[in-house]
A and B are shown apart, each in its own frame.
Chain A
Amino acid sequence: MAYSEKVIDHTENPRNVGTLDKNDDAVGTGLVGAPACGDVMRLQIKVGDDGKIADAKFKTFGCGSAIASSSLATEWLKGKSLDEAEAIKNTQIVEELNLPPVKIHCSVLAEDAIKSAIADYRAKQAARKSAT
């Protein structure tokens, strides 16, 4: 199957690969997997004092489309508010990367990862609030 140029670019030069401290209160971690193909994806956001996403990192073990989807997601996340980030749809990723139908589930995984990172961040903030 032929990958689009954008997928190849993100696979060969993935942006923002790495780890943020998952114990940091400002960091939200999303860990998701696609059991049908054995992929695993971790996506992390660090939220600044202004409420905007200051940094985003990912680590994905999976196919080129899964790596490209999460790489693109971290690029898009930086500078966004949580609400804006939450509004990112997998269909936008599909469109940007020109993913074929059989790879749409990779973009779904990336959207899941974004949502679960935001949920983790919010849960941490709520826990901190109720602790003080």
Chain B
Amino acid sequence: MPADPFERLGIPRRFAIDRREAEEKHLALSRALHPDKQVGASPPERRAALSLAIEVNEAWRVVRDPIKRAEAILQLSGLEGEVGETREPKPSGGFLMEVMESREALEEARASKERAAVEAVVVSAKKQREDVEGELASRLDAALALPEVERLPALRATIPLLGRLRYAARLLSEANTARDEIDGF
């Protein structure tokens, strides 16, 4: 991860971003750093521009993706040791059971090529992802606005939501793949 993708793009570090503003900044920076604009620059300057251009692209890749954006916020806020791999809190049994049930239902619908059933999973996964993302957005940004002593525990408390967002995104992507498969893509 680059030092700070928000800083790199020149946008505020928060979850709810102005997507258009971020995209425009990414484009403007990319244009300014493009090798075609480096005519007359010395080789070290060209190299610096190139590596900066790579960082800008990487920053945009992080910022545009809600999961990576949330991970970056948490990692940059002092929780880098608590996000990712096996470090995150274990999901509750009830939640895992729901995940298992929906994945099995999708698998069954995919195997029997029931388009309507697959479509139903797409719709519900999309809604689930939107709901979780909305909740994560408000809780993350509320946590970021807190005074320093309260900020860390409030941010930490959002990690399970980030996990739920990943599960919802995963289900949606599997459901989309299954639908494409049935449609012959």
Contacts and interface: CB of A to CB of B under 8 A. Distances in A.
A31 B86 contact: no
B170 A35 contact: no
B84 interface: yes
Contact of B84 (A31, A36, A38, A40): A36
Contacts of A42: 100
Interface string B99-116: 110011001000000000
Tier of interface size on chain B:
20 to 34
Which of A35, A38, A109 is packed against the most chain B CB atoms within 10 Å? A35
A76 interface: no
Interface residues of A, number: 15
B85 interface: yes
Given A33-B91, A38-B167, A38-B169, A108 B99 contact: no
Contacts of A80: none
Interface of A: 31-38, 40, 42, 59, 61, 105, 108-109
A105 B90 CA distance: 13
A40 B95 CA distance: 10
23 contacts: A31-B96, A31-B97, A34-B85, A35-B160, A35-B163, A35-B164, A35-B166, A36-B84, A36-B85, A36-B87, A36-B88, A38-B166, A38-B170, A38-B171, A40-B99, A40-B100, A42-B100, A61-B99, A61-B100, A61-B107, A61-B174, A105-B85, A108-B86
B184 interface: no
